[in-house]
């Protein structure tokens, strides 16, 4: 390989057919005289069809520059060179760091010598070692192209905001399951808003046996094993549900607050009493109607109960996970849009409560297709307020434009699967820790189950890995009518 050009932080390198460098590979451009080296990543491979490149090649080929001697000039002798040149490729590489005395710095301001530099491939294990990607809490993400494992450190997910995105069916939920069980393995508390009911079996292996996590996966199915009694709720949570999920206007909200307090004082906080109190409320007709319709939503959701024995003590489960770790799977399958919002509002309220009172240290929240249940103002909340309380969110979506721009700007890690649509790639490129060229060029060619890890988990050295398989009973398969019979 030969250094050809440098423009800003882009290097152009001429590569010969035998050197087969591919997109995503890392190269080490060593300049022996300067005692430094550049670490660059191939982001595109093109034909070296530029006349300048050909000249350069001819001049530097081992014997290409020598004048042909003798009288018998056999034109065929130069043919192999011509083919060689025709097949040479131009590698467009992005400089990721400078290596000096085994230390990495993000600068790309110096120019390596064109004649003296040697260029070789940088193996993934060496890159991982140099960049110190591995840590004390390893999570094996999967295998890289050169058959080594990409292991990230669980602490690089700590306190962070993450995005897992890619086309339908490419393995996003699979990766989030992998991250979840790994975090649970390190005794973390994990909560997932499970839109398709596919996380409930994380504790069971493919052949139906219990695995390591069996006792640590707690599935909450609203209306079945997940109900709350009004007595358990604090007024702020209820107001949150009414105002945010059910859009109760201000005047009615004030009336409700008064009503709630009076019922509470009299020890009559139950659905039945609340229903009667609203019916008998002596106030403006509109206010009464507004309250009555919200009360009906409460009843219809099947999420509220007057029977204390039936009520779920989410706190207890959260406390259990505090020491031993565990995942709370909030099963939102078969719930209507409104019910989903009620439940999410309740769960988030509960989490903030527990974190505020230091009952929990931190929670890793996984949210699948969050735009279907997360209200507008929560997005900003999640990057600011909730993050400070200790809610560290991972958004999973196949529609990247449903995630708000603030989330991209603040995201610490992005796990990017295949996308072919330019618009989708443009959206992802908005992330601060990502550069548009890398995203556009590499993500478009990713095979299924392969992801490009970007951000803190890989110390800002984008690495492609094939996500490893999990021995977990998966339930995320798309339901099909025509099934291939093997
Ligand atoms: N790395 C992997 N190894 C083995 N199987 C995988 C891997 N990733 C995904 N799968 C399988 O591929 C199928 C689709 O994966 P998954 O449900 O994770 O895709 P998805 O991106 O979440 O899809 P959707 O957009 O529909 O939610 C599943 O059956 C899953 O078990
Ligand atoms: Mg999925």
pLDDT digits (tens, 9 = 90+) for 310-351: 888 888 888 888 888 999 999 999 899 999 999 998 998 889
354 touches 318 (CB < 8 A): yes
The pLDDT of residue 150: 92
**Cα-to-centroid distance, 366 and ligand 1 (Å):** 16
Phi/psi of residue 224, nearest 5 degrees: -110, -85
Is 3.40.50.150 the CATH classification of the domain at 138-226+312-467? no
The pLDDT of residue 437: 87
Q: Check if 137 has its Cβ closer than 6 Å to any atom of ligand 1.
A: no
Distance CA 292, CA 280 (A): 11
Reading the block at residue 156, the tokens are 């690089």
Q: Check if 179 has its Cβ closer than 6 Å to any atom of ligand 1.
A: no
Q: Check if 164 has its Cβ closer than 6 Å to any atom of ligand 1.
A: no
Q: Check if 165 has its Cβ closer than 6 Å to any atom of ligand 1.
A: no
| Closest to 120 in 3D by CA, of 15, 27, 16 | 27
**Global confidence as pTM:** 0.89
**Alpha-carbon dihedral sign for residues 90, 96, 102, 107:** positive
Q: Check if 174 has its Cβ closer than 6 Å to any atom of ligand 1.
A: yes
Identify the nearest ligand to the CA of 478 by its number.
1
**Cα-to-centroid distance, 466 and ligand 1 (Å):** 12
CA atoms within 13 A on the CB side of 251: 8
Q: Check if 465 has its Cβ closer than 6 Å to any atom of ligand 1.
A: no
Distance CA 452, CA 458 (A): 10
Which of 169, 195, 394, 418 for a ligand 1 pocket mutation test, highest count of atoms within 8 Å of Cβ?
169
Q: Check if 469 has its Cβ closer than 6 Å to any atom of ligand 1.
A: yes
Query: Coil, strand, or helix at residue 114?
Result: coil
Q: Check if 176 has its Cβ closer than 6 Å to any atom of ligand 1.
A: no
Q: Check if 24 has its Cβ closer than 6 Å to any atom of ligand 1.
A: no
CB atoms within 10 A of CB 408: 22
Query: Coil, strand, or helix at residue 102?
Result: coil
Which of 173, 195, 399 for a ligand 1 pocket mutation test, highest count of atoms within 8 Å of Cβ?
173
Closest C-alpha residue for ligand 1 atom 15:
171
Give the alpha-carbon dihedral of 266, 271, 274, 280, to 10 degrees.
-120
Residues of the chain with pLDDT under 70: 49-83, 474-479, 483-486
The pLDDT of residue 119: 92
Distance CA 203, CA 209 (A): 9
First to last CA, the chain: 46
The pLDDT of residue 476: 56
**Cα-to-centroid distance, 353 and ligand 1 (Å):** 34
Query: Coil, strand, or helix at residue 27?
Result: strand
């Amino acid at each position: 390989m030969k250094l050809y050009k440098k423009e800003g932080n882009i290097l152009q390198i001429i590569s010969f057919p035998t050197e087969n460098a591919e997109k995503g590979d890392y190269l080490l451009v060593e300049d022996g005289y300067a005692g430094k080296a550049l670490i660059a990543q191939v982001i595109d491979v093109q034909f070296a069809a530029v006349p300048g490149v050909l000249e350069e090649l001819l001049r530097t080929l081992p014997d290409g520059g020598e004048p042909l001697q003798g009288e018998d000039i056999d034109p065929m002798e130069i043919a192999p060179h011509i083919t060689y040149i025709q097949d040479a490729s131009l590698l467009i590489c992005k400089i990721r760091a400078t290596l000096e005395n085994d230390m990495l710095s993000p600068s790309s301001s110096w120019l390596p010598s064109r004649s003296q530099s040697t260029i070789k491939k940088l193996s993934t294990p060496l890159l991982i070692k140099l960049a110190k990607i591995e840590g004390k809490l390893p999570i094996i993400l999967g295998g890289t192209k050169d058959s080594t494992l990409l292991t990230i450190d669980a602490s690089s997910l700590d306190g962070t905001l993450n995005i897992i995105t890619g086309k339908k069916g490419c393995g996003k939920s699979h990766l989030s399951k992998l991250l979840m069980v790994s975090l649970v393995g390190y005794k973390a508390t994990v909560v997932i808003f499970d839109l398709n009911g596919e996380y409930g079996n994380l504790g069971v292996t493919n052949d139906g046996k219990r695995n390591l996590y069996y006792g640590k996966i707690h599935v909450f199915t609203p209306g079945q094993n997940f109900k709350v009694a009004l007595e358990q709720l604090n007024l702020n949570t209820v107001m949150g549900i009414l105002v945010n999920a059910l859009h109760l206007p201000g005047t009615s909200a004030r009336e409700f607050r008064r009503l709630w307090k009076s019922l509470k004082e009299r020890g009559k906080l139950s659905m039945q009493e609340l229903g009667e109190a609203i019916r008998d409320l002596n106030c403006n007709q509109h206010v009464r109607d507004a309250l009555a319709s919200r009360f009906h939503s409460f009843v219809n959701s099947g999420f509220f109960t007057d029977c204390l024995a039936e009520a779920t003590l989410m706190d207890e489960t959260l406390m259990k996970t505090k020491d031993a770790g565990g995942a709370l799977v909030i099963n939102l399958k078969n719930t209507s849009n409104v019910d989903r919002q009620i439940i999410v509002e309740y769960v988030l309220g509960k989490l903030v409560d527990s974190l505020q009172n230091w009952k929990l240290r931190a929670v890793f929240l996984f949210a699948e297709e969050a735009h279907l249940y997360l209200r507008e103002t929560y997005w900003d909340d999640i990057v600011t307020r909730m993050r400070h309380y200790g809610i560290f969110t991972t958004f999973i979506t196949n529609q990247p434009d449903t995630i708000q721009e603030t989330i991209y700007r603040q995201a610490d890690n992005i796990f990017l699967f295949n996308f072919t649509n330019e618009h989708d790639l443009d959206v992802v490129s908005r992330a601060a820790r990502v550069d548009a060229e890398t995203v556009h060029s590499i993500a478009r060619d990713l095979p299924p189950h392969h992801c490009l890890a970007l951000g803190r988990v890989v110390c800002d050295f984008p690495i492609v890995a094939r996500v490893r398989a999990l021995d977990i009973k998966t339930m995320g398969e798309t339901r099909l009518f025509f099934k291939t019979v093997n």
